[in-house]
Amino acid sequence: MAPRGAGIGVVTRPGPQRPTALPGRRQAAPAVVLVVAVTGSGLAAVVATSLGLMPLVGRPRLTTDGYTAGSADLLLAVRESLVIATASTVLAAGLGLLVAGVLLGLRPGRGPLRLVAVAVVAVPHVVGAASVGLLLSGAGLLPRLLGISPGDWPELVGGSWPVATVVELAWKESAFVALVVVAATARRHRALTETAAVLGAGPWHRWTRVFVPTAVPALAAASLIVFVYSVGTYEVPWLLGRAHPEPLPVMAYRLFGSIDLAARPAAAAAATTGALVAVLAAVLALVAAPAMRRRAGAVE
């Protein structure tokens, strides 16, 4: 029992406060559970449908017909998706890195310019796709400004190469890449580039030997997200791409909306294949990440 009225005062150093907030994992748990439940059940349903276990017509039967019946088209769709995703990711990463470097080099007080540079993130892809279509099509703004007739203008929209699709995705996602890279490197950027400068490094040397290696982990993470998004995006290639071959999401959507209900397994197979490509990319990135972090000197 504590003594009362003993005239003793004790001053102690405040001990560590009991955490009032839940640890991060517990805090995130409700959202994570919801996302896993929705995505997991959706994915399970799609896989089951692709394997004939959830047919709209007929009896359930384990079969790979959804994958094999239209395998040639499916492979073409995979190739088209990989081309679009790879090209978009490479371009977005390069452009994003460039934008990030410029933004980091801006003097204080250039906040509005920073805002404009990354505001592209907020533009919906449908709006971006429509804008790129109006800009690059044969009768679009760009050929008109350049005074080139539609017949002489290359087929950038809906042509044999998914140029407009890649341009839209790269443009939109480059802002996302820039945002991630700036957020990850801003704290150390000025100090490191100034250090490099006083060690005799010119702008190019500072860019290649300091900024780029420092930005690599953030760039890789952002690029993975861009790649996965580009594999799964539907509206941009649907608006700007050609009819055939079509990328996986467009194929999946077309078959899913088909009046032929027996095409549902093929639609699900296209969706499952897209998910598989994304998962493979993520696994590859996770395998490469530790080495990349070590190389970039990230503190574990």
| Contact residues: other proteins, CB under 8 A | 188, 191-192, 194-202, 205, 209-210, 213-214, 216, 294-299
Left, alpha or beta for 268 (phi > 0: left; psi -120 to 50: alpha)? alpha
Q: Which two tokens stand for residue 198?
A: 């006083």
Tell me which residue of 94, 117, 237 sits closest to 166, measured CA to CA: 237
Residue closer to other proteins, measured from CB, 201 or 262: 201
* Shortest distance, position 170 Cβ to other proteins, whole Å: 26
Question: For 257, which DSSP code?
Answer: T
* Shortest distance, position 119 Cβ to other proteins, whole Å: 26
Question: For 124, which DSSP code?
Answer: -
Residue closer to other proteins, measured from CB, 149 or 195: 195
C-alpha 225: how far from chain center: 3
What is the spatial distance between Cα 170 and Cα 95, in angstroms, rounded to a whole number? Answer: 8
Residue closer to other proteins, measured from CB, 144 or 294: 294
Residue closer to other proteins, measured from CB, 260 or 300: 300
Left, alpha or beta for 103 (phi > 0: left; psi -120 to 50: alpha)? alpha
List all residues 6 or more positions away from 192 whose beta carbon is below 8 Å from its beta carbon.
210, 211, 214
Tell me which residue of 136, 84, 142, 95 sits closest to 118, measured CA to CA: 95
* Shortest distance, position 299 Cβ to other proteins, whole Å: 6
* Shortest distance, position 294 Cβ to other proteins, whole Å: 8
Residue closer to other proteins, measured from CB, 79 or 188: 188
* Shortest distance, position 297 Cβ to other proteins, whole Å: 2
* Shortest distance, position 178 Cβ to other proteins, whole Å: 20
Residue closer to other proteins, measured from CB, 47 or 292: 292
Question: For 147, which DSSP code?
Answer: T
